Structure 1
Amino acid sequence: MIVKKKVIILLGIVAILVMGGMAMFNSFTGKDEPRYKHEQDRMVEYLAQNYEGIKKVEFKNFEKNTKTGYYTSVAEIDDRFEVTFYERGAGGEISLDYYTREFITQYPKANRKDSFKGNIKVVYCGE
Structure 2
Amino acid sequence: MFNRRENESKQSYKREQDQIVKYLSQNYRDIKKIEFTRIEKNVKTGYWNVDLTVNSTYYISISTVNFSDDIEVTDHIAKSKANELVLNKNDISEIKISEIKVIYFDEEE
Q: Is the 8 A contact 1:45 1:115 kept in 2?
A: no
TM-score (norm 1): 0.66
Distance 1:38 1:49 in 2: 16
Q: How does 1:1-127 map to 2 (within 5 A)?
A: 29-100=6-77, 101-104=82-85, 108-111=86-89, 112=91, 114=93, 116=95, 117=97, 119-126=99-106
Q: How many residues align?
A: 100
Pair 75,115 (structure 1): closer, same or farther in 2 beyond 3 Å: farther
The C-alpha deviation readout for 1:22-45, integer Å capped at 9, x for no partner, is 9xx58x835422222111111111
Pair 31,118 (structure 1): closer, same or farther in 2 beyond 3 Å: closer
Pair 69,40 (structure 1): closer, same or farther in 2 beyond 3 Å: same
Structure 1: unaligned runs, 5 residues or longer: 1-21
Identical counterparts, % of pairs: 32
Q: Is the 8 A contact 1:48 1:118 kept in 2?
A: no
TM-score (norm 2): 0.75
State the Cα distance separating 1:91 from its structure 2 match.
3.9
Alignment RMSD: 2.5
SS in structure 2 at match of 1:58? strand
Structure 2: unaligned runs, 5 residues or longer: none
The runs of at least 4 consecutive aligned structure 1 residues that moved more than 4 Å come to: none
